[in-house]
Amino acid sequence: MERLLKIFIKRFVLLILLSFIIGLFVTSGIQAENNSKTIHIATIDYPPLMGVQNGVMTEIVTEAFKSQGFTIEYKIYPMARIVWSVTEGNDLAVVGSRAWFHKADTIKNVHPVSIYFTGLNFFSLKEKFPQGVIFEKLEDLKNYKIGYVRGGSLIPIFNKANLTPELVTTLSQNASKVYTGRIDMFAATELGGWGVIQKSYPDEVDKFTISKKHIHQINGDIVFAKDQIALMNIFQQGFETIKNNGTYLNILKKYYINREIPNQLLEFIK
């Protein structure tokens, strides 16, 4: 009887141990599945275009993946390391511009997908430029003081036109310098310029104006690492979904507020 009891106890202990081990495997499997639904994507902090809290492009990417059952976590990098994060680092994709990769001669190692277009324009005070800054070519502006952000993509274009902009580290500095008359105009993306003016001078936005002519136009992209074709396909399915169900247009309306949405962006929806 005692021998049978010992055998029963051993078997019972083994059964409990086996159940515990199986439970661990099941829990780990569920955890791995949940983790696989979270994607880490690199970007820079440049609201209202890109950023964790406020960015039209990052919101487009988030909603596209969300429609396919994925959650996005953004990793903010300095501009100097953003290309590296995908070509040499461990990140799966970057929200930004394919132009960054052309400049670094690494475009052949990535897969860009266009999600946005933006113009770079001049912002100025209406009292100085009632029609906005008017120019045929950049060289026409050689007698004006132009503000720009250090390290920006327009610097080679300004150099080619023999223009030397006054460089600052933030857009808000440029808005302040225009407002106080220390410079005549500053260059920025459409949303970036209006965004910083709205933030810096919320009751005086109407005092500012934007040039009708673009200085330059750039793509807004999600750029996938070379080995992430499957993930790119998932994104493209989600992108089509949010374009068709109205989410993409609603995001644009949220950021453009009462301003006209550029036709090139509306073309995405057609």
Q: What pLDDT does 264 receive?
A: 81
Q: Specify the higher pLDDT residue, 165 or 268.
A: 165
CA angle 67, 48, 93 (to 5 degrees): 50
pLDDT of 1 reads 52
pLDDT at 22: 39
C-alpha R_g of the chain: 26
Mean per-residue pLDDT for 147-161? 90
**120-216 has which fold?**
D-Maltodextrin-Binding Protein; domain 2 (3.40.190)
Count each helix (H run) and each strand (E run) in the chain, helices first. Answer: 10, 9
Going by the DSSP 8-state scheme, the letter that residue 12 receives in this structure is H
- The pLDDT value given to residue 110: 94
Query: For all residues of the chain together, what is the average pLDDT?
Result: 86
User: Which H or E run contains 59?
Assistant: helix 56-66
CA dihedral for 82, 52, 112, 167, sign (positive or negative): negative
- How do the domains of the chain map onto residue ranges? 38-118+219-267, 120-216
pLDDT for 11: 54
The domains spanning 38-118+219-267 and 120-216 adopt the same CATH topology: yes
How confident is the model over 10-23, as a mean pLDDT? Answer: 47
Task: Summarize the confidence of residues 118-145 as an average pLDDT.
Answer: 97
- Residue 20's pLDDT is what? 45
For 125, what's the count of Cα atoms within 13 Å in the CB-facing half-sphere?
Answer: 15
Query: Of residues 134 and 264, which shows the higher confidence score?
Result: 134
Q: Tell me which of 3.40.50.2300, 3.40.50.1000, 3.40.50.300, 3.40.190.10 is the CATH number of domain 38-118+219-267.
A: 3.40.190.10
CB 193 within 8 A of CB 214: no
Calculate mean pLDDT across residues 196-204: 94
User: What CA dihedral angle connects 56, 60, 62 and 68, to 10 degrees?
Assistant: 170
- Name the residue with higher pLDDT: 105 or 178: 178
Q: Sign of torsion, CA 89 93 94 100? A: positive
Q: How confident is the model at residue 29 (pLDDT cuts 50, 70, 90)?
A: very low
Three-state SS at 73:
strand
pLDDT above 90 as % of the chain: 60
pTM of the model: 0.74
Question: What value does the mean pLDDT take over residues 221-235?
Answer: 97
- pLDDT for 71-110, tens place per residue? 999 999 987 788 899 988 789 999 999 988 876 688 889 9
Residue 23 confidence (pLDDT) above 50: no
Quote the pLDDT of residue 32: 37
Among 66, 70, 72, 63, residue whose Cα is nearest residue 41: 72
Instruction: For 246-258, write each residue's pLDDT tens digit.
Output: 999 999 999 998 7
- Measured distance CA(257)–CA(75) in Å, rounded: 27
Note the residue count of the chain: 270
The mean per-residue pLDDT over the stretch 122-147 comes to 98
